Amino acid sequence: MDSGLIWTITTWVFPVLLCIILHEVAHGYVAMKLGDMTAKFSGRLTLNPKDHIDPIGTILVPGILMLTGSSVLFGWAKPVPVDFSRLRHPKRDMGIVAAAGPLANLLLAIGFVLLWHLLNALMPMGEMKEWAFQNVVNGISLSLALAIFNLLPILPLDGGRIVSSLLPLKYSIKYQQSERYGFLILLGILFIAPLFGIDIVGWFMNTLYPFFARIVQFFL
């Protein structure tokens, strides 16, 4: 196998798994704290990759996007089960549970920055340090990308759940009906709209990225 390919794979595997798994565990953990024990009883409040990996969303899709040099890198794990009806305040708490995923990614980005400082202080110069730094850099960029991407106001993404939580009940119910078309809408704005020069995802991420980046840069 080409050494460059090995480098790429080994510097992305850990960040991808950690970013996606922590995102999902955060949803389940916050849901548990707000009254829904579904994720806990399903054994999903764990960092064990085998309980979260989706062969397509965690391995195949990010792998293809990464190896083809795509400007968009995203993926997903098996969704942590949340029964919104079991939450103490279902409509309000749905938004809190949804926000937990992007917040976990933001905190993880900060954690990667702190790890960068630790590695810089403790590791001697060499290929191993360069490899470790590349993992950290990839972790920071992926954490921020996932946090922002998931805030897109499209169901079933977290941003859609947050919007639904904030809307008045009548409009929230109507908005939730769009979830049946959510995946098609997402595919459309990711891959079809850019063919016509419309980069909705790029605009959204570029708009929010400076704000998130300033938070992370505070720890540099």
Element spanning 140, H or E: helix 127-149
Dist. CA 119–CA 66, nearest whole Å = 25
Task: Catalytic residue, from 24, 127, 130, 179: name it.
Answer: 24
Position 104 scores a pLDDT of 97
Position 57 scores a pLDDT of 78
Show the tokens assigned to 157.
């993404």
Instruction: Encode pLDDT of 11-41 as tens digits.
Output: 988 998 899 899 999 999 999 999 999 999 9
179 among known catalytic residues: no
Position 71 scores a pLDDT of 59
CA dihedral 191, 6, 108, 17 (to 10 degrees): 70
Dist. CA 77–CA 177, nearest whole Å = 24
CA nearest neighbour of 146 among 114, 108, 179: 108
List the chain pLDDT tens, one digit each, 220 residues: 577 778 888 998 899 889 989 999 999 999 999 999 999 999 999 999 888 888 887 778 777 776 766 656 666 788 899 999 999 999 999 999 999 999 999 999 999 999 999 999 988 888 899 999 999 999 999 999 999 999 999 999 999 999 999 999 999 999 999 999 998 998 899 889 989 999 998 899 999 999 999 999 998 8
DSSP structure string for 180-208:
GGHHHHHHIIIIIGGGGT--HHHHHHHHH
Position 66 scores a pLDDT of 67
Dist. CA 205–CA 165, nearest whole Å = 22
Q: Kindly list the distances between the CA atom of residue 62 and the CA atoms of 1, 4, 29, 75, 112, in Å, as whole numbers in the listed order.
A: 19, 17, 25, 5, 20
Contact 173, 53 (CB under 8 A): no
Entry pTM: 0.91
